[in-house]
Structure 1
Amino acid sequence: MYGDPATIRKILTEVGDTWAIVGLSGNRRRAAYGVAEVLQRHGKRIVPVHPKAETVHGEKGYPSLSTIPFDVDVVDVFVNSDLAGEVADEAVAIGARAVWFQLGVVDEAAHERVRAAGLEMVMDRCPAIELNSLSQRARRA
């Protein structure tokens, strides 16, 4: 498993509410679009990061993590696994507190580098699914 329940809960509830979503564009058919919408519904500020730097869900986009002019808590990665390590390294460089690789995005070496830098890290999981699970558990409690 690439994200133990305690780490997932910590990232979703304690790390911070500003989520840079790498790969998020205005394309409604892409998974990143729907996940960003769910994150917003759960009180997260989303920051689209895409070469087109589009405004998505009312939030201004940026072409790269390094061009975001404010602090980012979590970097959510919607790129192919072979590109994810570079994004993870950039997340460390900008001072993010956590990195989240989406479903299907796996890079063991990047995971090790991110953890060695002191950041929280989850791979091959979806924060929208995990947020919905947390909400359902909270309602049952």
Structure 2
Amino acid sequence: MPYPSDDAAIRRLLTETRVIALVGASPNPARASNDVMEYLLHRGYRVIPVNPGQAGKQILGQTVVGHLAEIAEPVDMVDIFREQGALAGVVDEAIAIGAKAVWMQLGLADDAARTKAEAAGLAVVMDRCPKIEIPRLRI
């Protein structure tokens, strides 16, 4: 079930966000994470790819970091392209770096991780994709 159902909250998040850490970024153009990253870059967002297996390399011209803790600038939103079982750990890392929001991609939702993130003051979006939401909300 997509969360939240409040379009105004999603619009506000996407409008206020400038720096996105994309966890699970892939150099493979056939992967959804690559497609979404390219879209976000073209929309003017700063996107920092996060993938330990690609650390130090480039994806779409952006230098990959291995972990969220390695990002040397404030992160507005952590966009998660990982398996369901990794969500709680990524949310913990997002809280630790002071991110303002976590976004779980289509098919991903974890109510316990959502509760923890919201308790720490982060906005949470689950089971949605910014590449779909931006045009839908006409941002």
Give the count of matched residue pairs.
135
Mapped partners of 2:28, 2:69: distance in 1: 23
**Aligned twin of 1:23:** 24
**Aligned twin of 1:10:** 12
Q: 2:7–2:137: 8 Å Cα contact kept in structure 1?
A: no
Shift of 1:90: 0.5
Kindly provide the amino acid, as one letter, of the partner of residue 39 in structure 2: V
Q: TM-score, normalised by structure 2?
A: 0.93
Shift of 1:134: 2.3
Q: 1:7–1:121: 8 Å Cα contact kept in structure 2?
A: no
Question: Once structures 1 and 2 are overlaid, which stretch shifts more, 1-10 or 80-89?
Answer: 1-10
Kindly provide the amino acid, as one letter, of the partner of residue 50 in structure 1: N
Task: Give the superposed CA RMSD.
Answer: 1.1
Kindly provide the amino acid, as one letter, of the partner of residue 12 in structure 1: L
Q: TM-score, normalised by structure 1?
A: 0.91
Out of 123, 127, 130, the position equivalent to 1:124 is 127
- Aligned to 2:10, what secondary structure does the other structure show? helix
Structure 2 unaligned regions, length at least 5: none
Mapped partners of 1:17, 1:134: distance in 2: 17
- Aligned to 2:38, what secondary structure does the other structure show? helix
Q: 1:7–1:122: 8 Å Cα contact kept in structure 2?
A: no
1:1-141 aligned at under 5 Å gives the runs 1-3=2-4, 4-14=6-16, 16-51=17-52, 52-53=54-55, 54-135=57-138
Identity fraction in percent: 46
Mapped partners of 2:112, 2:70: distance in 1: 25
